[in-house]
Structure 1
Amino acid sequence: MTTTAEEAGPLIGAVESLRAQVAAARLPLDLVVTAGARSNRGALLHQLDDYVLPRLRSLDAPLLAVIGGSTGAGKSTLVNSIVGNEVSRSGVLRPTTTSPVLVHHPDDEAWFSDRRILPGLSRVTGAPGKHPEPGTVRLVASSALPAGMALLDAPDIDSVVHANRAIAEQLLMAADLWLFVTTAARYADAVPWDLLRDASARGTAVAIVLDRVEPDVVDEVRPHLVEMLRDQGLGTSPVFTVPESSLTPEGLLPESATSRLRAWLEALAGDARARSIVVAQTLRGAMASLDGRVDELVDATRVQAAAADALRDAVETAYASALAAVEEGVSDGTLLRGEVLARWQELVGTGEFFKQVETTVSRVRDRMTAAVTGRPRPEEGLDEALHTGVAALVRAHGESASSTVARAWRRLPGGAQLLDDRPELASPDDPLGDRADRLVRDWQGQLLQLIRSESGSRRTNARVAAYGVNGVGLFLMLVTFAHTGGLTGAEVGIAGGTSVLAQRVLEAIFGDQAVRSMAAKARRLLVEDVTALYAAERGRFEAALEDVGVADGQAEGLARAMGAVREANP
């Protein structure tokens, strides 16, 4: 373990980098392991901020002994009696210590007033107020306490007030020495032993004060307590017995009751080597405990990333399937059934037109050109049917994708949380139908532009004019949707005839190679437009994931930082 400030330099830098990675780690998804991981992250930050970094930066700072224990154990009375004055309020009402009190020698004031330790707590001075002051530590200078050591009276570790319990545990992590105060009636309670085991695992130096012990039970209780300490790896921890005593008029214990403890503290404060041994033990243990805590956080961030990836994959899969379904729908002939077939029959009839293609082509041209005389325009019904069919196809698969993602997220870890926070995600964006309708209109406009761009020669222009640009656009849509794999029975014949006829008309205008190229481009344009529409829909889910803040590379960054700490702390 590093023992000098000069040797500590590289280690301090590595620990500071680790601290930055821990602070940056985010665990926003409510997973099975998240609650414990968040608690671990908070405890790890407190350990780094309140003890490891301050101690590494100031190895020669006074030793901090934190007085901790259960409700009613007499911690405040003990502190007051050691100092010889009331510096921490005591009494029968619980809890009595609601804000920590740090007692130090006047010469050591600079070590504690500048937030070297407990940087998250504001400093207050003076006599204790009548009301608790959350988020503060009260500093008390006392010449009765030797220089080189400070005592910090912490709230009860089993306080009925959650905030008091939390600050008590945080303060214990900031201790060079934990002075655990218990009583003959409470020494075997579960809560303090959970913390004692944690202290043992971290290597924190611990001393035990068995307070308020009746003389007739001390020979029974003390050996049992020592045995329990030995079982938990704390067999070397000194045990001080404070007998049940009447308090002085000033509310203090008799000097004889605390003389042995006070003498031990004074000897420790006055012996720089002894203090350095205690500090080294606790710092070494704290550094060793970082491995497990950081590994736990690394695992938790990986679980978060895996959960986010699974949610993201569900979105990508659903919308990729929706796009594939649209691609199939615009090429397998299914758009040429139903209303489209009915409107086509109105336009060209249902006779044996694909046996007499040339005759039918002439009939179609006649019907198209009749529009200029003000006669009925059956191609408008066909255009509307095609438009409605394509828009319905796009909308239906977009809505299906949204529902599929919502169902998948309900089953996946963390997904229900996102849906509950953003209920609008469970259904497609409200204007999806309008956007699909506009998409098809825009696409039809692109087809007309494509036709105009292909009508380069005067002769081709004349042929297009014979049918009208809109009419040629209808034929291009029909050819685009021409494959008949989705149709059966009579529909195949009719749809097949539709595509043959439409293709013959277009070939007569542009030539067969140009028609194939135009149909492929028309289909590609439509798919590109649908891709953009679905990307916007998919983006709603992706934005929800982005907002919760599951960052990439967290686990790797933490692991690298911990590796650097190991290298700097051989």
Structure 2
Amino acid sequence: MLAPVTDHPDTAPLVDAVRQLRGAVAASSLPLPVEQVSAERTNRVELLNQLDDYVLPRLTSIDAPLLCVVGGSTGAGKSTLVNSLVGDVVSRSGVLRPTTRASVLIHNPDDTRWFADQRVLPGLARLTGAPTQQDDPGQLRLVASRNIPPGLALLDAPDIDSVVEANRDLARQLLAAADLWLFVTTATRYADAVPWGLLQQATERGTSVAVVLNRVPVDAMEEVRADLAGMLMQQGLGQSPVFAVLESRLSEQGLLPAAEVERMRSWLSSLAADSRARSIVIRRTLDGALDSLTGRASALAGAVTAQEMAAQALAQAAHEPYVRARGEIEEGISDGSLLRGEVLARWQEFVGTGEWFRQLDEGVSRVRDKIASVLRGRGRAAPVEDLGEALHTGVAALIASHGESAAMGAARNWRSLPGGSELLADDRSLAQVSPQFDERVQRLVREWQGDVLEMVRSEAGGRRTTARLLAFGINGIGVMLMLVVFSATGGMLAGAEIGVAGGSAIVAQRVLEAVFGDQAVRSLAAKARELLLRRVDEVLADERARYDQALGRVELDPGAAEQLDRAISQLKAVR
């Protein structure tokens, strides 16, 4: 058990620690729909409300009037009871539900200063005067009455099980702001589950509770009281005062007979008049609230950490398919698989028939001269362009295919993880490549082919221009360099394709070596491959960034859990 507030005559360090915790709670967020997030979101809101509505106001104004919140189930007669305790109609009552809309706070005129400002319940707008049909749960109606003793205020709260969700939420908020909860139930409703759930919460948070058993038939009084007392004992509320109100005829004003509320009124008045008794109730509730903060804030820190881990899992799940796609593209570029089909056909048009491969052993010079002769005889522009276009088509198809697979894989991964389906629903375009992806791939390949030709020009410009280079031309040399880039061991090719595709690359490589030298060819091919993969990386990174951007729109502070942990430690230290 942490030390009570009474052990801290100087509350400034405690107030500072609670304010630090309040800031950490406010900075936290739980946007991803992970497991149990609904309950954790409720916990966060309730924790923030209690800090704002009760803990901080009470810590900074320990001598403020005792706030008694009158709450209970629908039709329990809360407003009638409040009116009867005051001796005047200050809160609207009736048979239509819900009757309580704006909350009504009744106080002695001498205590107005404690409630007119935003000290307690700062989120509720203040109203004065008689209730109207336009009142809503976001308002707090202040009623000054001399029938309420100084040092005490009564707050008539909405039904805790109201059909209106806003009323239910407000009822819970007001109960958490109470120094004392006057729980009103009836002989027919006292065993309902909803109020007992809130009573359990009150017990856990140390809230002082008194119980009003309303509308009890005379012949059932003893039995009902005994049963209720047993339930309170099991709940840990055996010491809570219990007031029983007989089923009675109301006055013309709608008030209970004075005798039925006299004992309750006297008890409340004694609390107001006896500063020590009032202080005991206030400090018991405040200590209970402070004791509950660390556990509730720790649970919130755990929930925030779960959010961070979920976000990290989503980020990794989106990245993995793109990492895999990049690896597969690199493999597809180097394994010779691009040298089949249309590229093979265009290569054969470029160099002639398969006799060039059979004559390879006769010497590269003879092959080179023969190729040059053929090209001079029939014109080389069209075959070179056709081969370049075939290479363009093959490379673009390779990149596009793996890019599309990566997008589908990332979406599939997200659907299997908490929060992923909701993010995909918010941006359905994530399940496929971006609209500009295909165009970017086409441009990527064109620009890379331009890089290759520029490399050839640069390499040729540093050498004496030879008949060999002129024979093939810059474009012809460029496409042969591309063939070398896309060749490896032919590992993915089968049967005759190994010989044909592999031979194509060998012929191209030896022609290039005859023009530039073997070391220069190896350097040019490595640089060209690197340039292509660099452009692939840029496009894939932009595609993957769409998922990062979707996660970035989720408001997660990566330091929120640590901030909560520090605030919890500070609160423990000062208590």
Name the TM tier (shorter chain).
over 0.9
1:122 and 2:110 are equivalent in the alignment: no
Segment of structure 1 superposing worse, 358-367 or 278-287 = 358-367
1:343-382 alignment runs, 5 A limit: 343-348=346-351, 349-351=353-355, 352-356=358-362, 357-369=364-376, 377-382=382-387
Segment of structure 1 superposing worse, 558-567 or 62-71 = 558-567
Change (3 A) 1:525 1:127: same
Cross-structure match for 1:530:
536
State the one-letter code of the partner of 1:536.
Answer: D
For residues 57 and 532 of structure 2, what CA distance do their matches in structure 1 show? 63
1:105 and 2:108 are equivalent in the alignment: yes
Cross-structure match for 1:321:
324
State the one-letter code of the partner of 2:84.
Answer: S
1:230 and 2:236 are equivalent in the alignment: no
Cross-structure match for 1:203:
206
Cross-structure match for 2:495:
489
CA drift of 1:246 comes to 2.2
1:448 and 2:453 are equivalent in the alignment: yes
Cross-structure match for 2:10:
7
Aligned match for 1:422, one of 407, 424, 427:
427
Conservation of the 8 A alpha-carbon contact between 2:137 and 2:167: no
Cross-structure match for 1:305:
308
CA drift of 1:367 comes to 4.3
Segment of structure 1 superposing worse, 206-215 or 227-236 = 206-215
CA drift of 1:6 comes to 6.1
- 1:239-270 Cα deviation digits (max 9, x unpaired): 11222222223222222111111111111011
Conservation of the 8 A alpha-carbon contact between 1:25 and 1:554: yes
For residues 454 and 419 of structure 2, what CA distance do their matches in structure 1 show? 47
Change (3 A) 1:457 1:369: farther
Cross-structure match for 2:56:
53
**Paired residue secondary structure (1:116):** coil
CA drift of 1:217 comes to 2.0
For residues 217 and 12 of structure 1, what CA distance do their matches in structure 2 show? 49
1:406 and 2:411 are equivalent in the alignment: yes
CA drift of 1:213 comes to 2.0
CA drift of 1:204 comes to 0.2
Conservation of the 8 A alpha-carbon contact between 2:71 and 2:171: yes
Conservation of the 8 A alpha-carbon contact between 2:54 and 2:177: yes
For residues 369 and 2 of structure 1, what CA distance do their matches in structure 2 show? 100
Cross-structure match for 2:151:
148
Aligned match for 2:290, one of 256, 268, 287:
287
For residues 338 and 65 of structure 1, what CA distance do their matches in structure 2 show? 85
Cross-structure match for 1:168:
171
Cross-structure match for 2:99:
96
For residues 359 and 319 of structure 2, what CA distance do their matches in structure 1 show? 45
Aligned match for 1:539, one of 545, 548, 562:
545
Structure 2: segments with no counterpart, 5+ residues: none
Conservation of the 8 A alpha-carbon contact between 2:336 and 2:486: yes
- 1:521-541 Cα deviation digits (max 9, x unpaired): 110110110000000110111
For residues 16 and 189 of structure 1, what CA distance do their matches in structure 2 show? 37
Conservation of the 8 A alpha-carbon contact between 1:323 and 1:531: yes
1:26 and 2:29 are equivalent in the alignment: yes
CA drift of 1:375 comes to 6.5
Cross-structure match for 1:568:
574
Q: What TM-score do the two structures reach when normalised by structure 2?
A: 0.95
Cross-structure match for 1:213:
216
**Paired residue secondary structure (1:87):** coil
Q: What TM-score do the two structures reach when normalised by structure 1?
A: 0.96
- 1:122-155 Cα deviation digits (max 9, x unpaired): 1111011133323101000111111111100001
For residues 8 and 549 of structure 1, what CA distance do their matches in structure 2 show? 34
CA drift of 1:302 comes to 2.1
For residues 150 and 329 of structure 1, what CA distance do their matches in structure 2 show? 78
State the one-letter code of the partner of 2:474.
Answer: V
Cross-structure match for 1:391:
396
CA drift of 1:363 comes to 2.5
For residues 365 and 443 of structure 2, what CA distance do their matches in structure 1 show? 36
Conservation of the 8 A alpha-carbon contact between 1:391 and 1:436: yes
CA drift of 1:121 comes to 0.8
Segment of structure 1 superposing worse, 148-157 or 346-355 = 346-355
For residues 230 and 461 of structure 1, what CA distance do their matches in structure 2 show? 105
RMSD between aligned residues = 1.7
Cross-structure match for 1:508:
514
For residues 468 and 287 of structure 2, what CA distance do their matches in structure 1 show? 91
For residues 80 and 516 of structure 2, what CA distance do their matches in structure 1 show? 102
Runs of 4+ in 1 over 4 A off after TM superposition: 367-371, 460-463
Cross-structure match for 1:333:
336
For residues 33 and 461 of structure 1, what CA distance do their matches in structure 2 show? 75
What is the number of residues matched between the two proteins? 567
For residues 370 and 415 of structure 1, what CA distance do their matches in structure 2 show? 62
CA drift of 1:461 comes to 6.7
State the one-letter code of the partner of 1:544.
Answer: A
State the one-letter code of the partner of 2:491.
Answer: G
Conservation of the 8 A alpha-carbon contact between 2:27 and 2:557: no
For residues 483 and 22 of structure 2, what CA distance do their matches in structure 1 show? 64
For residues 497 and 254 of structure 2, what CA distance do their matches in structure 1 show? 102
